[in-house]
């Protein structure tokens, strides 16, 4: 009975039990070591597609060496020794016994293209997960001077990975993603709460700016009461109702915001200290919303990649749904931060010089001679 290669015994030490793709990689490499001529039917993968460094080194060595004559290859191990020597440059722990074990555990060498497709699918999962992690890390990196721009650039890179996976695994009829999406985490942030209060007070004092800030929505706020008060302010301004703290208080009551934990006096105090401009505080709030959304879509996509039952098709569908949410808030951010278009003066038609023509004065009346 053929021996199943052991990762530890064969110099492939792993801190955790290997995933199924590890054994798929072994079967693929075994097929190529036994019948090197099958390399031509293996497409869509490269050395970095493998989960184990030793496997990547073996595949690179197999690709770099010309395939031996099948008849000669069946008689001796010359080509296998060449592969081992080339692979050891990158993976010194490889042994001849491991290569022979790979050959023994390969069920059917003719299934090499199917094994390669499995390796490609798992590599796509890892690529997508890594791209999602980069988005989350960038969104949370407070040392970046242009954190929003850097985060959106990583989101574009993630979208490019999704498009590449979609091209490799075309759409087909199948089940939609079933991985439970993580809930949106809204950590308590005193700075965010203070900025939301300043926006509400300043917008109440200068309501003329509110109607121009349609790029800010209640969903951008971290505190539910503040989101409701912003809705009250936008309702009042679009209705053309005079805006002041009393009007906002009354509107808040109509919206059901005055629960037992919210005293009217506290709400009036909240609206009584304006500072700066509404646009400044609004952009600060929207910036946090962009970063929070980017971090959340990264978590959603990562959750899909962590589910081994998720197919490449489901990864693409789930990722594009998540990216659509980021696209919506991104559009609002671009609208908020883009300079206002300069209005060109209306073009007036120049009065053309009159063309030369017959005189317009009537000729003098002819004298009637008697």
pLDDT value of position 10: 44
> Is residue 370 one of the residues assigned to a domain?
no
- How far is the C-alpha of 159 from the C-alpha of 277, rounded, in Å? 35
Q: What average pLDDT does this structure show over 313-326? A: 93
* 94 and 77 part of one domain: yes
> Is residue 28 one of the residues assigned to a domain?
yes
* 197 and 49 part of one domain: no
pLDDT value of position 189: 81
> Is residue 326 one of the residues assigned to a domain?
yes
> Is residue 94 one of the residues assigned to a domain?
yes
pLDDT, tens digit, 9 for 90 and up, residues 333-348: 999 998 766 555 555 4
pLDDT value of position 252: 93
- How far is the C-alpha of 44 from the C-alpha of 133, rounded, in Å? 24
What percentage of the chain has pLDDT greater than the value 70? 83
Band of pLDDT at residue 2, cut at 50, 70 and 90: very low
pLDDT value of position 343: 56
pLDDT value of position 361: 46
* 276 and 294 part of one domain: no
pLDDT value of position 15: 60
Residue 358 confidence (pLDDT) above 70: no
Q: What average pLDDT does this structure show over 274-294? A: 95
Residue 8 confidence (pLDDT) above 70: no
pLDDT value of position 82: 96
The CATH number given to whatever domain includes residue 203 is 1.10.860.10
pLDDT, tens digit, 9 for 90 and up, residues 143-192: 999 999 999 999 999 999 999 999 999 876 666 666 666 666 656 689 99
> Computed over its alpha carbons, how large is the radius of gyration of the chain?
34
Q: Between 173 and 303, name the one with better pLDDT.
A: 303
Residue 34 confidence (pLDDT) above 80: yes
Tell me the CB-side half-sphere exposure of residue 6, using CA atoms within 13 A: 3
* Highest-scoring range by mean pLDDT, 197-201, 266-270, 354-358: 197-201
What percentage of the chain has pLDDT greater than the value 90? 75
Range of the structural domain that residue 230 is part of: 190-281
Contact, 325 vs 208, CB < 8 A?
A: no
Contact, 199 vs 279, CB < 8 A?
A: no
pLDDT, tens digit, 9 for 90 and up, residues 70-94: 999 988 999 999 999 999 999 999 9
Band of pLDDT at residue 201, cut at 50, 70 and 90: very high
pLDDT, tens digit, 9 for 90 and up, residues 204-263: 999 999 999 999 999 999 999 999 999 999 999 999 999 999 999 999 999 898 887 778
pLDDT value of position 1: 35
To the nearest 10°, the Cα dihedral for 203, 209, 212, 213?
-30
Average pLDDT, the chain: 87
DSSP string, 138-163: HHT-TT-TTHHHHHHHHHHHHHHHHH
* 257 and 197 part of one domain: yes
* 125 and 253 part of one domain: no
- How far is the C-alpha of 54 from the C-alpha of 35, rounded, in Å? 20
Nearest to 249 by CA among 204, 194, 207, 197: 204
> Is residue 368 one of the residues assigned to a domain?
no
* 272 and 297 part of one domain: no
Domain total for the chain?
A: 3
Neighbours of 28 (CB within 10 A): 30
Q: Between 12 and 59, name the one with better pLDDT.
A: 59
End-to-end Cα spacing for the chain? 145
* 198 and 245 part of one domain: yes
* 275 and 295 part of one domain: no
pLDDT, tens digit, 9 for 90 and up, residues 95-136: 999 999 999 999 999 999 999 999 999 999 999 999 999 999
Band of pLDDT at residue 17, cut at 50, 70 and 90: confident
């Amino acid at each position: 009975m053929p021996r199943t290669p052991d990762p530890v015994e064969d110099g492939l030490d792993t801190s955790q039990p290997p995933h199924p793709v590890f054994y798929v990689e072994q079967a693929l490499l075994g097929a190529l070591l036994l019948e090197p001529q099958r390399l031509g039917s293996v497409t869509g993968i490269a050395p970095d597609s493998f989960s184990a460094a030793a496997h990547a080194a073996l595949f690179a060595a197999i690709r770099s060496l010309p395939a031996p004559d099948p008849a000669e290859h069946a008689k001796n191990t010359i080509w296998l020794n060449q592969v081992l020597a080339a692979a050891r440059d990158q993976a010194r722990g490889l042994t001849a016994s491991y290569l022979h074990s790979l050959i023994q555990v390969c069920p059917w060498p003719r299934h090499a293209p199917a094994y390669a497709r499995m390796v490609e699918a798992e590599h796509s999962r890892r690529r997508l997960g890594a791209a999602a992690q980069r988005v989350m890390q960038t969104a949370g990196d407070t040392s970046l001077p242009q954190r929003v721009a850097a985060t959106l650039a990583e989101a574009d890179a993630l979208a490019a990975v999704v498009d590449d996976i979609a091209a490799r695994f075309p759409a087909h009829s199948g089940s939609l993603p079933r991985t439970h999406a993580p809930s949106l985490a809204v950590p308590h942030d005193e700075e965010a709460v203070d900025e939301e209060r300043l926006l509400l007070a300043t917008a109440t004092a200068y309501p003329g700016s509110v109607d121009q800030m349609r790029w800010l929505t209640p969903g951008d706020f971290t505190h539910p009461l503040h989101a409701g008060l912003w809705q009250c302010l936008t309702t009042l301004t679009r209705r053309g109702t005079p805006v002041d703290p009393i009007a906002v208080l009354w509107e808040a009551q109509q919206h059901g915001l005055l629960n037992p934990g919210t005293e009217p006096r506290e709400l009036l105090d909240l609206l009584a200290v304006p500072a700066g401009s509404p646009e400044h505080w609004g952009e600060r709030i929207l910036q946090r919303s962009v970063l929070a959304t980017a971090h959340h879509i990264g978590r959603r996509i990562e959750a899909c990649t962590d589910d081994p039952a998720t197919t490449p098709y489901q990864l693409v569908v789930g990722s594009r749904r998540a990216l659509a949410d980021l696209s919506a808030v991104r559009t609002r951010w671009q609208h908020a931060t883009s300079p206002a278009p300069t209005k060109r003066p209306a073009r007036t038609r120049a009065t053309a010089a009159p063309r030369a023509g017959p005189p317009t004065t009537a000729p003098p009346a002819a004298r009637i001679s008697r």
